[in-house]
Structure 1
Amino acid sequence: MERRKILIVAKTYPSISTKYRETVCTAGILLDDNEQSLEWVRIYPVRFRQLDFDKRYPRWSIISAKIEKNDKDSRLESYRIDDSSIEIVRSIGTHDNWSERKSFVLPLEFESIQSIKDQGKSLGIIKPKSIVKYYYKKDKREWGDKQQGILDQPDFFEIPSDLEKIPYKFGYEFIENNQVKHKYSISDWEISELYRKCRDQSKKYLFEEREAEALEKVREKLEVDFLNKKDLYFIVGNLKDHRQTFMIIGLFYPPIPKNNQRSESSYQQLTLFDS
């Protein structure tokens, strides 16, 4: 393994694994010795919630760690990490309209999903030309029997798994610059956590009311705030066993500079369409 620096850009909501019990997929940017962006990387698997507290890297932190190509995954960006080697170097803040974050991310922007595919890649960032609609849909409320069985197994570290099944999927239908339309779900841990926290912090009496309030707050964030006040980009990646299937694994949303902000109504006329 070789020690490298990586900027952490997105983490997916934990998934259940037969071998690792609970894993997280991390999207990041590989940096050179001078902390200049080189390429997108995928770090998987990571038992993130079982890491020592000082190794639980937050989003937008630069870490130093020993990594190597993942021999179980032929996608070019896929690496595995030595958990014990993780060191958090520094955090990248939001000053000056996210200028430092942009300096890392935007040089690695792709024109479209097709451009990612054409270059033999499986991970990247794109900017949608327009958002057709934000959506959410119901999902199963409980893990399947096989998944629950994995969670119920004794853990080597004797750490119980309280991984919650999020009963909704959130996503965007959007059009790229090449006029191709996509409908992608969002696997970003940040969005699932937003829903969960809004529900748990709700003062409503009935559970159904708390859920409804949380869904509305997520909608306000992803549809109202992000589409009116943010310069929205999608960090997208494909599935290991379904290489043509992509999803949104992270959202990059620097604010629109105040002198460029449009009114809500005019912005929606420009970027929102009826499906």
Structure 2
Amino acid sequence: MQLEKWAERRILILGMTYPSYSRKYVENVCTGGLDSETLQMVRLHPIPHRYMEDGSRFHSFQWISARVMPHQSDPRPESLRVEPDSIRVGEQIPAAQMQERVRLLRKSPSRVRSVEELHALEKSEKRSLGIVQPKEITGIRLRTKTEAERRDWLRIERLVLRQQAMFGTPKPLDFPEADFVVSWVCDDPTCKGHESGLKKWDLHELYRKLKGDPKRDEKTLEMMHKQLNLKEREVFFFLGSFRGRMYQFGLMDTFSAPIERQRSLFDLG
């Protein structure tokens, strides 16, 4: 997708990371989607999701239209600057149409065989986004964040909220108390395995809502194991590189759908 100035684009939202504080935008949510014309992955920011009007808020696998242009301060080619006020929410591909979601992901030119292939594309064409279907999930665990990480979060929070208070009512973010770590092997003989914290917003939201529940960790891990069960589900990882470390890819979000099994002729009737 070649853009040089503001243009209206239609984009299918794939997922969002847990919000983070931004000194420039107050708050930002890393948001990935598929461009309707090419089905290539794009990255949208700034998306101050919690500060947006209800009619502009969107969900995964929902079409939106918005004015976008290449993000001039972001060297990653898939990054688009969006006018938040221009976002118009369209139809959502419902959960009842899981195979339509799967079809679009399979068809996307951003789908690659492995993280290794994604690294090669980063070197050759600065590719910074990709869709990978893992061959094997080798581990799922939870890591409780340290007090030092909490202090760093609160330090940035004080700076950002003090700045925001001059323009409106600030909205504090709950500190994300855990990392949800996934280990996997790609369907590629050169793959030696990968491990990354999953930044998926609704996973962090589940953990936040379970605060005080003695089985909080157990319930969260149980949900992760269910969603990433390769024997029962077709799993897609959405990976993205970091602006300051374009050679490093993180696991931004995931999607999984029940495996569609062909029915026997004896099952019909």
TM over 0.5: yes
Asked whether 1:251 is paired with 2:261, we answer no
Match of 2:193 in 1: 181
Distance (whole Å) between structure 1 residues aligned to residue 80 and residue 24 of structure 2:
17
Distance (whole Å) between structure 2 residues aligned to residue 164 and residue 140 of structure 1:
15
Distance (whole Å) between structure 2 residues aligned to residue 74 and residue 151 of structure 1:
25
Asked whether 1:14 is paired with 2:19, we answer yes
- Check conservation: 1:125, 1:233, Cα contact below 8 A: yes
Match of 1:147 in 2: 156
Match of 2:210 in 1: 198
Secondary structure at 2:138 match in 1: strand
**Bigger shift: residues 175-184 or 155-164:** 155-164
Match of 2:117 in 1: 115
Secondary structure at 1:72 match in 2: coil
Structure 1 counterpart of 2:180, one-letter code: F
Match of 1:92 in 2: 93
Structure 2 counterpart of 1:173, one-letter code: S
Distance (whole Å) between structure 2 residues aligned to residue 224 and residue 58 of structure 1:
21
Match of 1:235 in 2: 238
Match of 2:41 in 1: 40
CA gap of 1:156–1:90, structure 2 versus 1, over 3 A, is farther
How far 1:190 moved relative to its partner? 1.4
- Check conservation: 1:151, 1:161, Cα contact below 8 A: no
- Check conservation: 1:17, 1:150, Cα contact below 8 A: no
Find the partner of 2:225 among 220, 223, 226.
Answer: 223
**Deviations 1:220-266 (Å, cap 9, x if unpaired)?**
01124531532222111111111121111111101123669xxxxxx
Secondary structure at 1:253 match in 2: strand
- Check conservation: 1:93, 1:100, Cα contact below 8 A: no
Structure 2 counterpart of 1:110, one-letter code: V
- Check conservation: 2:69, 2:82, Cα contact below 8 A: yes
TM-score (norm 1): 0.83
Distance (whole Å) between structure 1 residues aligned to residue 29 and residue 151 of structure 2:
17
CA gap of 1:140–1:148, structure 2 versus 1, over 3 A, is farther
TM-score (norm 2): 0.85
How far 1:44 moved relative to its partner? 1.5
Distance (whole Å) between structure 2 residues aligned to residue 27 and residue 137 of structure 1:
25
- Check conservation: 2:142, 2:181, Cα contact below 8 A: yes
Asked whether 1:61 is paired with 2:44, we answer no
**Deviations 1:57-78 (Å, cap 9, x if unpaired)?**
1111100100000000111100
Identity %: 26
Aligned length: 245
**Deviations 1:80-120 (Å, cap 9, x if unpaired)?**
10111111111111225x11111221112211112223223
Where in structure 2 are there 5+ consecutive unaligned residues? Answer: 1-5, 264-269
